[in-house]
Amino acid sequence: AYYNSWKDISFIFHVAPLLNKEQHRRLNGNGVCHIIFYEDQNGDPLDIDIFKDLGAVAQIFIVVQPHLNYYKLACFHVPTIPSFDPSPPPPFYVFSRTELCDFLLAKLHNGYVVASLSPPLKNLFSKPRLAALKELGALLKKK
């Protein structure tokens, strides 16, 4: 795992090629946001059907593809999530390294926030919290 901090927000990145099969299933399978570095030597487009196997937790996808001296970016998400900022750059926009980093981290953070407030993640996050609050309420009632 790699750690990064940006504007007082912490990020942990799990790098799929560095994980064993169990870590890949447990960590990447439960990741909300995914960055895919797509390096195709033949120019073939990325088959987005491969993301269907990630399950209900995976919600946000950002594809970064090196192309000549710049990077192509594509951002997409599941249909239950509304659009969120930052907006995708215009076609053929050339990012500096700092701009690319800022864009990716802002998109990841905003995507995570929007995803956690949308189905199905809202239900996954709120049910355990609701159960814990009910248990706490029952304990306080007894006292």
What's the pLDDT tens digit per position in 78-97?
888 888 888 887 777 777 77
Residues 6+ apart with CB under 8 A from 95: 70, 71, 73, 89, 103
Q: For residue 125, give the H/E element and its range.
A: helix 121-142
Separation CA 108–CA 112 (nearest Å) = 6
Average pLDDT over residues 120-127: 70
pTM of the model: 0.71
pLDDT 10s digits, 37-53: 888 767 677 777 776 66
Greater confidence (143 vs 18) lies with 18
Q: How many C-beta atoms surround the C-beta of residue 104 within 10 A? A: 21
Rg of the chain in Å (alpha carbons): 18
Contact yes or no for 21/121 (Cβ under 8 A): no
